[in-house]
Structure 1
Amino acid sequence: MTAKSDRHWYPRYPGDYARKTAHLSLVQHGAYALLMDWYYSNAKPLPDDWVQMHRICKAIAPDEQQAVQTVVQEFFILKDVGWTNERADEEIGKKAKISDLRRDAQAERERIRLKNLASAGAKRGANAPSNAHTTTSTTTLDNTNVLSPPISPKARSEYSPEFEQFWQTYPNKTGKGNANKAYLNALKTHKELTHEFLLDRSGQFAAAHKAAGTPGQYIPHPATWLNGCRWEDDISGITKRQSAAPGAPNAWGSQFSALQSATAKILQEGAGGVQNGPPGLSERVLDTSDSLRLTQWRNPGSLAQLPDLSDTAGGQTIDHGPAGPADGGETVL
């Protein structure tokens, strides 16, 4: 059985509970909840004594006592040790195993710390300068005064079996060290949380993203998922990402298309002069640099008379403006 410090909470799965107890009345639901609270708090079967069970449920009226007996006979099995519940015994066993693993891990960490501490003290003694006038030197290690050396990468990479299970289940395997810290902190901070629940929720989270075909870069890092309590998220909202349809209108693409059309028209007219251009435009020269600039407008006032060139696909129009620069300099499209 688990230690008393672990008995103040137990996992409750609403979906499983609703499926198995949908037929119960309100009074029967209350009796069942009180009986399970007592079962997990004491980590042992219910007593084979109706008077004691009525007292546990505070059942005084005859209909209340009948509700207690109905629930016990349906959901518990009478054995030599009392009335047992298979699911409750299974959860209590899991908690006991987790407690044992945590205790063993803590003992191993302490063993490594003391070993490193002793090794550091031995090295200091070996490297200390010798003194001919000193016959004996005694060094006492005090945990409060000697700093522990950094733990080696090998020791740091030893993760608990529970975390390794979580790591294998989670879909985005990025930042394992931070994920381990977040995992331990989540179990420590949220007393109602269990390794099994995290494993179950991370598995559902992975399956939902796999079904949706979510690219890895859009799945949060495991540390982010744990620190944000994302196990509480509704995963039904994870759906397949919609990519932009080919040929969809794009403002920048439309403007560039219109610019290409204008450049092609100028190239057809010729760089030496405009044969069929609008009245008043005497000459223009095309500079085919990377910026596609039109330079040296001889008659900048005529720029406003150029027809607007529209991109019918994107609905974008190049507006030439009222005129070029007043000093006859560059006009950049």
Structure 2
Amino acid sequence: MNILNKAIRLVYGLCWQPSVLGDADSRDSGTLGPHGVSAKTVGVSALAQDLLNFEITSKVPEELSNHVVSKSKAQARCYEKLLVAWRESNPPPKTPEEASGLVVQTLKKHLKADVEGLLKFYGLPLAPIPVEAAPEVPVALPPGVEFELHSLPVDARCVTDGDGITVFINTSDPRESRSVPQEVQVAALERSEARARGNKTRARELHKSIIDSGYQVINVQNEEVLARKYRIRLKGIDAPEGDMPYGKEAKEELTKIVQGKSLRVLVYGEDQYSRKLGDIYCNGNFVQELMLKKGMAWHYKAYDQRAEFAKWEKNAQAKRIGLWASPNPEKPWEWRKKNKREGR
């Protein structure tokens, strides 16, 4: 009776709702997992029910072996850990994202294939699996910086001009993992399964929906990574537009600096085109400093009064480097006034 009483207490501790645990006939017809849970409940109730059953019988679902690589003993150890974690969570998981996060965090030292297989088994979002890392000492950000980004390696095609670049941030980054929409996670999981089945058309459709949501699946060292897209405007400088003298050279110089590199971006806010205003660092080098010293950009004094920017511009001008080889180069903000367009 003690085991039964514990089981009953666990049921109520899971905060189930009757509508969630209704029988199969009352559930939506579009299911995401082998238990027949609906798109609304995903696999939260199914996982909770299996944990309850495991506490009573010490048995895991028979169908799980079709989704994971480990044998039954290792599966049982996973459920033991999940049961403890679920009971200790306060409050217990109520949403698919919360349940997925608990699974990933609890089983982070287990095989990646087992964790992903278990999530697929319950139709839960494929949350990023954390990588063990040494704790870092928090570093104070400069005044005005809202947050910091660390990008995946930059593709040359992501450089738009001499002061604009698109970066992609791995959703396993703690800041990003908390905000990935459920529909994007589900689409990424379904795309992976479609590719495994050889259904290229469906995989392309799903990737388009991911891209339309501001994300993208990127191949990094032969591993697919779900990443969020950010458009960055380099703060404090203004490079020649593409149709201006030195516009092509400025874009090529920025490409040469960042191509294939992972960038550190300090974000200050947004401009009128919804681009993030950022200071960019590449291999420890301050990118705006490099662009100014090479004469590939102006100091944008109207929006940034940092004294070092004026100094770097003045030195390049004195050496007649880059665009300063011209006696009176046209300023890009003046050029834009005469060549107005909707956006950059």
Same fold judged by TM-score > 0.5?
no
Structure holding more helix per residue: 1
Structure holding more strand per residue: 2
- TM class by shorter-chain length? under 0.3
> Which of the pair has the greater relative contact order for Cα pairs under 8 Å at 6+ separation?
2
Q: Which has the larger radius of gyration?
A: 1
TM-score scaled by length of structure 2 = 0.21
